[in-house]
Amino acid sequence: MPLSKHEQQLLAQLEKQLHDDDPRFASTMHTEAVRGRGSMRNVVLGVVIAVVGLGVLLAGVALQLIIVGVLGFIVMAAGAYVATVRGRATPGKGAANPGNPGNGPSGRGPSGPRKSSTFLQNLEEKWDKRNQG
Pick the more confident residue, 46 or 88: 46
pTM for the full predicted model: 0.42
Q: What is the pLDDT of residues 1-38, one digit of tens each?
A: 777 888 888 888 888 887 888 777 777 776 544 445 56
DSSP assignments along 5-40, one per residue: HHHHHHHHHHHHHHHHH-HHHHHHHHHHHHH-S--H
What's the average model confidence in pLDDT over 63-68?
Answer: 93
CA pair distance 58, 37, nearest whole angstrom: 30
Percent of the chain with pLDDT over 90: 29
pLDDT at residue 58, rounded to an integer: 94
C-beta of residue 102 within 8 angstroms of C-beta of residue 110? yes
Mean pLDDT of the chain: 76
